[in-house]
A and B are shown apart, each in its own frame.
Chain A
Amino acid sequence: MTLSSSATADHVYATGLRNQWHPVVPSHFVAPGAMRRVTALGEQWLLFRRSDGVLSMLADRCPHRGAPLSLGKHLGDRVACWYHGVEVEGDGTVSSVPGLPGCGLEGKKLVASLPVREVAGAVLAYFGDEEHPEPPELTLPEPLTEDGVSAFLCYAEWDVPWRYAVENLLDPMHGAFLHHDSHTMFDGDTTAKFRIRETDRGYFFEKTDQRGVNFDWVELCRTGVDWVDLSIPYPPSAGPGGPFGIVGMVCPVDEGRSGVFFWRYRRVEDWQRSSWRFLYRTLIEKRHWEVLEQDRAMLEAMPADADQRENLYQHDLGVVRLRRLYRAAAAEQTGARRG
């Protein structure tokens, strides 16, 4: 069984909070009739898609001897372990033990199977522990569900602890420095005052004295899945429609790696929507990528003890708030299990 109750708060803090949804990989990583091995929250999983498109997420571990099911064979509606042929269905039930027909394993649900949903081109999965197998209500980010919004998903894999990737998003001031040489964040003051504004689903961390010029605010939203929303102005060359927004999510892959999901979105319709989509594919996507690579280069170069030897100042309040929140959640999740 995965998601062991023996996990410590430090382990949960390092590998990702339980009992919530997380993004895993883009949907197209698992074609109809295909399967794919993935690591998430420090554990090995198998994404398995039937030819009719139905997706399952199973622990990548045969219930017989523990061999990886991802090395096995896709049988259409189930997977057969390569080692001894044990067959497992999408819900984790052992359907057949070919070496010993009638074996007691048959008909038992012995493989962890996570609830999955596909949202705006990404696979989301619910990572509950033994005491919380059923997912809570999941409210999706409005920019990914509203009419009149056009979004593109950009996914990348970084050698960065998941929390550093989230902290980077709760640190708007880096835009004016790290991204000063970029097509969108070249403008605005390099000094600012920030405030935290609580909401019923998280908090805003925002400049008090500048808006609409650089990366000036960010909202952390905890709605069953953790995500951020932020907005960055486009130069006039990008055409009508105003700023572009980013919905960001991070997959905690393991202690040192993250999958980052950025939906770049714009409120545009009709010919303006088409113009944006055309320019994005042809010219803008590459510029956004260059900005994202600046983040990756900086975060991957951070020393392992970066957050142990800091001297923080007022611009880091959003990060401090985030750490407290996640620390408390990790302690609560593991403490509750021990109790």
Chain B
Amino acid sequence: MTDPLTDAWPYLDVHQSRTHEPTPYEYKLAATLEEVFTKEGHEIADVVRGLNARQVHAADGTPWTEESFRAEITRLGA
């Protein structure tokens, strides 16, 4: 029998879009992206330059390129 109690009221869930709690790497990248967008600009070249200048690098520790950033953000933002 399906449990009808799953309709407990009210449903108030802060996070409805996540599949997992972000990792420390994801939190750091997100916070740095916000800073870069604010201070450097909104072009992908600004993003790559800004992240590298802050030494917030790819998961393997290498500096970002436009290609590597594009691939990683596509994965993270799928």
Nearest A-chain residue to B73, judged by Cβ: A274
Residues of chain B within 8 A (CB-CB) of A286 are: 14-15
Asked whether any CB of chain B lies closer than 8 Å to the CB of A323, the reply is: no
Contacts from A to B (Cβ < 8 Å): 26, 34-38, 68, 70-74, 82, 152-159, 235-240, 257, 271, 273-283, 285-286, 289
Query: Provided the pairs A71-B4, A257-B9, A278-B30 are in contact, do residues A152 and B17 lie with their beta carbons within 8 angstroms?
Result: yes
Please list 12 pairs of residues, one from A and one from B, whose beta carbons are closer than 8 Å in the complex, sorted by A's number.
A26-B16, A68-B4, A70-B2, A236-B37, A238-B34, A240-B43, A274-B78, A279-B33, A280-B17, A282-B26, A283-B30, A285-B15
How far apart are the CA atoms of A155 and B7 in the complex, in Å? 14
Binary per-residue interface labels of chain B (1-19) against chain A in the complex, 1 for a CB within 8 Å, 0 otherwise: 1101011011111111110
Question: Quick one: which of B10, B35, B76 has the most chain A CB within 10 A?
Answer: B10
Residues of chain A within 8 A (CB-CB) of B42 are: 236, 239-240
User: Within the complex, which residue of B13, B15, B34, B74 is in contact with A274, where a contact is CB–CB below 8 Å?
Assistant: B74
Residues of chain A within 8 A (CB-CB) of B37 are: 236-240
B33, A275: Cβ atoms under 8 Å? yes
Asked whether any CB of chain A lies closer than 8 Å to the CB of B22, the reply is: yes
Nearest A-chain residue to B31, judged by Cβ: A283
Residues of chain A within 8 A (CB-CB) of B34 are: 237-239, 279, 283
B16, A275: Cβ atoms under 8 Å? no
B77, A274: Cβ atoms under 8 Å? yes
Nearest A-chain residue to B40, judged by Cβ: A236
How far apart are the CA atoms of A276 and B74 in the complex, in Å? 10
Top 9 A-B residue pairs of the complex, sorted by shortest distance between their CB atoms: A274-B77, A157-B10, A277-B77, A240-B42, A237-B34, A282-B30, A278-B77, A274-B73, A278-B76
Query: Provided the pairs A277-B78, A278-B77, A285-B17 are in contact, do residues A235 and B10 lie with their beta carbons within 8 angstroms?
Result: no
Residues of chain A within 8 A (CB-CB) of B2 are: 34-36, 70, 73-74
How far apart are the CA atoms of A35 and B1 in the complex, in Å? 9
How far apart are the CA atoms of A82 and B2 in the complex, in Å? 11
Query: Provided the pairs A237-B35, A274-B76 are in contact, do residues A154 and B26 lie with their beta carbons within 8 angstroms?
Result: no
A153, B73: Cβ atoms under 8 Å? no
**Shortest Cβ distance from B28 into chain A, in angstroms?**
10
B12, A271: Cβ atoms under 8 Å? no
A37, B9: Cβ atoms under 8 Å? no
A281, B1: Cβ atoms under 8 Å? no
A271, B10: Cβ atoms under 8 Å? no
Question: Quick one: which of A36, A82, A275 has the most chain B CB within 10 A?
Answer: A275
Binary per-residue interface labels of chain B (23-64) against chain A in the complex, 1 for a CB within 8 Å, 0 otherwise: 000110111011101100011100100000000000000000
**Shortest Cβ distance from B41 into chain A, in angstroms?**
9
User: Within the complex, which residue of A159, A239, A285 is in contact with B33, where a contact is CB–CB below 8 Å?
Assistant: A239
User: Within the complex, which residue of B6, B11, B35, B73 is in contact with A278, where a contact is CB–CB below 8 Å?
Assistant: B73
Residues of chain B within 8 A (CB-CB) of A277 are: 77-78
Residues of chain A within 8 A (CB-CB) of B1 are: 71-74, 82
**Shortest Cβ distance from A209 into chain B, in angstroms?**
28
